[in-house]
């Protein structure tokens, strides 16, 4: 399993990350790892205003990560069949894209 490109996650353009999972299911490993990596000190220090909220349910529902960006966009990651590195890659690519957009808008 290839590690994501950078060790830390940059959360500059993110407003809120809501992670919901059911710990007694067998398909939550990737979601929990994603939560651990996103909720780490280094990741949160990149943006102190970003909230990382985790909800624990027991209704055998699939694990879901709901990310809200500063410009209103939403990214929904369904972690049932994904690995944590895939989720991180997708999340980081979107984040960098948003960062570039924000920089271009700021320059103008």
Partner 1 sequence: MAATLCVKVLPKQGWLPLIQTVRHGSKAVTRHRRPMHILKQKLMAVTEYIPPARVIPPGAYPPQSKQVQEDSAFMVVMKRNLKNVFQHSKMVAVVQNNASNAEDMMMLKHRLHKHGISVKFFPNQVVRSFIKDGLFSNMAPLFIGPTVLFVSEEPKVKEMLSTLRASPQMTLLGACIDNALLSAQGVVSYSKLPSVSVVQGELVSGLTMLTSHTASLLQRHPAHLSALLQQYVKQQSSEGAPKAEEAT
* 8: nearest Cα among 69, 82, 96: 96
Per the document, the length of the chain is 108
Q: Residue 4 interacts with partner 1 (CB under 8 A)?
A: no
CB of 79 to partner 1, least distance (A): 13
Instruction: Give me the helix-helix angle, 84-107 and 29-38, nearest 10°.
Output: 40
DSSP characters over 39-53: TSHHHHHH-TT-EEE
**Mask: binding to partner 1, 30-69, rule CB under 8 A, as x and -?**
--xx-xx-xxxx--x-------xxx-xxx-----------
The 3-state DSSP class for residue 21 equals: strand
Q: Residue 15 interacts with partner 1 (CB under 8 A)?
A: no
How many residues bind partner 1 (CB under 8 A)? The answer is 21
Q: Which two tokens stand for residue 28?
A: 């939550």
Q: Residue 107 interacts with partner 1 (CB under 8 A)?
A: no
Interacting residues toward partner 1 by CB under 8 A: 23-26, 28-29, 32-33, 35-36, 38-41, 44, 52-54, 56-58
């Amino acid at each position: 399993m290839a590690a994501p490109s950078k060790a830390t996650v940059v959360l500059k353009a993110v407003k809120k990350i809501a992670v919901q999972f059911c710990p007694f299911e067998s398909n939550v490993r990737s979601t929990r790892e994603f939560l651990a990596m996103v909720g780490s000190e280094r990741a949160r220090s990149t943006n102190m205003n970003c909230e990382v909220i985790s909800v624990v349910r027991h209704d055998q529902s699939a694990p879901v990560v709901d990310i809200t960006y500063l410009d209103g966009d939403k990214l929904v990651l369904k972690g049932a069949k994904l690995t944590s590195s895939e989720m991180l890659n997708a999340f980081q690519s979107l984040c960098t894209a948003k960062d570039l957009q924000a920089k271009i808008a700021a320059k103008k």
